[in-house]
Structure 1
Amino acid sequence: MKFEESLTLEFKRELTEGIKKEIIAFANTSGGDLYIGVDDDGSVVGLDNPKRILEDVSNIVHDSIQPDILMHTTLSIETIDDKDVVKISVSVGSRRPYHLKGKGLRPSGVFIRYGTSVTNASEENIRQMIIETDGTNFETMRSMEQDLTFTDAEAIFKKNGLSLLESNMRTLGIINAEGYYTNVGLLLSDQCEHTIKCARYVGVDKLEFQDRKEFTGSLLKQIESAFEYLSLHNEKNSAFKGLQRVEQESYPSYALREALINAATHRDYSFSSSTLIHIFTNRIELVSVGGLVKGLTQEDIELGISQSRNTKLANILYRLKWIESYGTGLQRILESYSKNSVQPFWSIGPNSFVVTLPKKDQTTRDEIDESLNNFLESKSSFTAKDLEIALNKSKSSVRKLLAELVNQNIINRIGNGPATRYKKSH
C-alpha cells in the first residue's frame, strides 16, 4: 500500500520535534492525519516500538501545545503492510490559533498548512483565527501579545486601595478562562500598543506647534499623564472677591478630566490610531476614534443614555472611582460650564467623536459687574488698559464691554485715539 501527501495527509519516517508544528498546522487549517513510520514518498517503513512513540506523542500534545488540543486529537497504532505505524488524527480546533507553548500567539509559534507544507502563520492569519474563535468583541479577544507586565497598573490599583492579583484579573476580564491575557489586559499592561498624543499650538489653528507629547505604556498611566499635562497648561488667573483672592482656571478641571476619561473609555481600540488632544489658545479638542456605539444617537447620549463600547474597561475605571456614574459624563461637562457665556460642544463623525472645551470666561457676569462697580467707584477716570488689568480680561473683551457701557450711558468717553479715557456718568 502506498500513500501520497496532501493538504490533510502528512508522513514522518520517525518521531521528531517537527511533529509539534504538523499537529498545530492541522488544527489551525483543515484538520488531517499524520502517520509516523511512513516515508515521505509514502513507503511504509514501520516502527520498532510504536507504544513508546504513542506515549511520546501524547506527552508532546499535552506539554507543548496551547490551548489544550487533546480533545481534537486521536492517537492510534495501525498495521499497514504488516508493519506498525502510529496514526495521529487531528480535527480543526475550536480554540484556534493553536501554538507552541513557549512562543505564544506570535508567527514564530503559530503554524498553518499550505498545500503539503507547514508554514508560519502571518499576523493577519492569527488575528483572523482569533476573531473567528473569540468573536469580534475587542475586549474579550485574546491579545496577540501574551508577554505582558503590569507595573504601572499595579501601582495605580494599589494607590486606589485595590489589588491586581490573578484572581482579580480573571474577574475583571484581564485574563480569560484559559489563562490568556485578553485585549483588556493588553490595554492595562505596560506593553499597551495604543497611545495618547497631545499637541499645543500657537493661536487658534494647527499652523504652528508650541510643543508635542506622546504618552505610552499602560492606558491607566497614559490617562494620568495626559491629565497632568492638561493641568499644567490649564492657565489660572486670580481675581478678588472682597478681600479674598480667588484663583480661576481657564478650563474646569472636572470637564478636562471627564472628557479625557470618556475619550479613553469609549474609543474603538480595534483602530490602531491614537487618542488625540489639541490645545489651542481658545479651546481644547479631544478626538476619540470610533464614533458612537451602533444604535445610539447624539440625542441619546445627551439625555444620559449610556452604552459603553468597552464595558470591561469602563468597569475597571469605575472600580478605580475614575468614573463616578455611567452615562453622566457629557451632562457633567455641561454643568461645569453652566455659568459661562461659551459652552462645550461635540462633533460626531462615522469614526470619530470630538469634544471641544472652550476657554472659560474667568469671571461670571455677576462677578464682572461687582468688580466693574468697585473699579468705577474707585477711579475718577481710566483707560481701557486700566480696565483690562482690573478685570483680568482680554483687550477685545474689554473693548466690547466699554462699548456697552457707553451705549447704556453708564460711562462717558473722553478724547480719541491713544489718549482716550473714560469716566463714570453722574
Structure 2
Amino acid sequence: MTAEKIKEIVRCGETSTVQFKKLFKTAEDVANELVAFSNSNGGQIFIGVDDKTGEILGLDYDQLREIGSLVASAADDRVRPAVFPQVETEPVDGKAVMIVTVKKGPDAPYTNKKGEIYVKQGPDKRRVSDNNEILRIFAESGSFQPDRQSIRGTSIKDLDRYLLDEFFQNSLGKSADNLGIPLETALKNLFILDEDGQATLGGMMFFGINPQRFCPAFNIKAVWFYGNSIGGTEYRSSRDIGGTIPRMFKLGMEFIDGCLLRRQEGQNFNSIGVLEIPEIALTELLQNALVHRSWLKPAPIRILVFDNRVEIVSPGALPPSLTVADIKLGNAFQRNQLIANLCAKTMDYRGLGSGIIRALQTDANIEFQNEASGDQFRVILWRTEQKSKEETPSEKEPDINSKEKSKEKEIVGKEKGKEKIFELLKSIPGITSSELQEQTGLSRSGVEKIIRQLKEAGKIRRIGPDKGGHWEVMDRE
C-alpha cells in the first residue's frame, strides 16, 4: 500500500472495516480487535494514527517491534480459533505506519481467551451476548442450519400425508407407500424429520398440516394501503397469510395481483391484460423472501401495497459477506439450504442466485434496501400506474373550515414527526433514513427536511460517513 493511499484512507475516517490506533498496550486489546474484525467483514487497523484527529503520528523502531510481537501473540494465543492477520509497515512522510489486515473468518464466531464475542458496529466494536445473535453468526459461518432444527412436541402425524405423497411422486415417481423403505426413515434421510422423529423447521414449513400452530410468527402479513404512507390509518384490504411456504407463495401472489392494475398493451379486448409490474419480477422476489428470510428472527414477511409502489420486506438483513451489488450480479449465499432444496423440488425455483437477475431483466423499476440495523431486507417495486383519486376514502370536497383544520392538522403532524425523529435518533444513533420513514410514516423528502432542520438548530450532528456512521444528539433546546 502506498503512502498516498494510506493518507487517502485516513482522510476518509474510520469505518466498519477501517480503524486507527495510536498504539496497542496489551495483547488482550489486540485480540478483541482481531475477534471483532474476524466476526464481521474483516478490515484493516492502521497503527500510528490518532483515531480522534486522523493525524499520522508514526511509530519508532521499538514500538514497531513491541506491537508486532503483541499482534502475533494475540492472534496465536488469545483468539479462538486462531486467526492469521497480515502485518506490514509503510513509510508516510517519514513516519512508519503499521497496517494489520484481518480477513473475515470462515469459522465464526471467534472469541477472545475469556470466551467473549465481539463484532464491528460502525467504527467501534461491541460485545455480543444475545443468544439469537450468536446463533446468527454460527448460521452465517455455515456451522448451524436453523431450518434443520427440531420443533419440539411434533411428529410425523403433524405432516400432511397428501403433500408428502405429492412430493415423492413428483421427485421420485413413487408414492410414499412404495419407497422401498419406511416412510419415517425416508423423511429422516431428507431432514424433514430429525433422528427422534420430530419435524424439522424446514419439514414443517413445507409439509405441515398447520405450520403456524408451531411457528406462529412465520407467516405473511399483507396490507393494501390508501395513499403512499405506512402511517395511514385506513387500508383497502388486509390479510394474514399462513400455511406452508408453497401455499403462502400462491396466496401472496394472488393478493398482489388483486391490488395491481392490468393494462391492455395492444392485446385484444378479451385479454385479461398485462400486470403493471412484471409478474416474473414479483414471482422471483416473493420466492426469494420466503426462501432466504432469517428463521432466527420470529417475524412475518410483509407485503405492503401503496398507490405508487409494492414493498416486500423479509426478516434478516443480508449476511456480512454479501452486498446489494453482489446479489444484483447473481452472487448468492444459501442461508437456508434445506428449505432451498425443498423449494427447488416443489416450486418453480432454481436456487442458483439467478432470481434477482431475472427480476432485474424485466422492465420493472426495482430498488433494494439492506437494512442492517433493523435486520431486514426491503425490496421496492415502483408501480407504473396508480389507482384513481376516486378510490380514496374521502370523496367530498372539503369546505373552508375543514381546509383550515386540515392545514392545522398537517402542521401538528409535522411537529410530531420532528419530535418522533429526534427521539429515534436519540435512542437508535445508527438508524437509517429508510427506517425513519417506516417508523414515522413520512416521505423520504419529509425525513430529510426534518433532519436538515434539526442539524441547523444544532440539536444533532452526524459522526462518521453516511454508511457506517451514526447520529449524536446534542439535546439542546
What's the TM-score once normalised by structure 2's chain length?
Answer: 0.43
The answer to which structure, 1 or 2, has the higher relative contact order (CA under 8 A, 6+ apart) is 2
Which structure has the bigger radius of gyration? 1
What's the TM-score once normalised by structure 1's chain length?
Answer: 0.48
